[in-house]
Chains A and B, each alone.
Chain A
Amino acid sequence: DQQVKQNSPSLSVQEGRISILNCDYTNSMFDYFLWYKKYPAEGPTFLISISSIKDKNEDGRFTVFLNKSAKHLSLHIVPSQPGDSAVYFCAASALGDMRFGAGTRLTVKP
């Protein structure tokens, strides 16, 4: 039972343009949402998060948007850089239990 879904396994964008990664969830009990970034041969690292009481959180080039009614969140990266190329995991948490999506591989082309 996949409670967190990332329907796009891959995304390719040009350097300098916007990258938009999407995530959907099914469990309305989730109250905290996170994005992790993963490079090959390394563990995922935390990127940005948002509480369910907010609809937007911004940190530099990264912005996460939350639409609770649609059970949807997205990560925007502007402008995209080649170093952003990685696998991005969406995660949702409730009472400490965290569930991850399958990941989206982002490739930013110079």
Chain B
Amino acid sequence: DAGVIQSPRHEVTEMGQEVTLRCKPISGHNSLFWYRQTMMRGLELLIYFNNNVPIDDSGMPEDRFSAKMPNASFSTLKIQPSEPRDSAVYFCASSPKGTSGYEQYFGPGTRLTVT
């Protein structure tokens, strides 16, 4: 079992550039979550999908952020244009079901630095 796979592990980009983060959930999991971790705010839920459908995107900071899940095995989080305040570690997690009672399995994260 490969677990949740995220790429890239590290991304350094200049302000104004487009950034795309990628996630492959655990096979068979129906729910996928994107989080952002910062020192000030800890782990923030950005968006989550059930069966490839976005359920709650109220955590997405602004229109510069967008997420897609074109199929059950792949999701992207895009930031366009990126800003220095977007620098953080972004985690993807998946869960067997989109209901309470199931833990989430996290990927290793993507450390994003915007200069």
Q: Chain A interface (Cβ within 8 Å of chain B)?
A: 6, 31-32, 34, 36, 41-46, 49, 51, 89, 93-103
Contact = CB atoms under 8 A, between A and B. Distances in A.
Interface stretch (B13-21, B60-68, B72-80, B102-110): B102-110
B93 interface: yes
A49 B99 contact: no
Given A96-B97, A103-B43, 10 more contacts: A36-B106, A43-B106, A44-B106, A46-B103, A46-B104, A96-B31, A96-B100, A98-B33, A101-B43, A102-B43
Contacts of A43: 4, 91, 93, 106-109
For the residues of B in contact with A, the DSSP-based class is: strand
B35 to A, nearest CB: 7
B45 interface: yes
A94 B100 contact: yes
For the residues of A in contact with B, the DSSP-based class is: strand
Interface residues of B, number: 28
Contacts of A95: 98-100
Contacts, number: 64
B82 interface: no
Interface in B10-46: 31, 33, 35, 41-45
A5 B109 CA distance: 23
A25 to B, nearest CB: 13
- Kindly name the residue among B4, B35, B101 whose own CB sees the greatest number of chain A CB atoms within 10 A: B101
Given A43-B4, A43-B93, A98 B42 contact: no
A102 B40 CA distance: 8
Contact of B95 (A31, A51, A96, A102): A96
B101 A101 contact: no
Contacts of A98: 33, 45, 104
B106 A32 contact: no
19 contacts: A6-B42, A32-B100, A43-B106, A43-B108, A44-B91, A44-B106, A45-B106, A46-B103, A46-B104, A49-B103, A93-B100, A95-B100, A96-B55, A97-B56, A98-B33, A100-B35, A100-B43, A100-B44, A103-B43
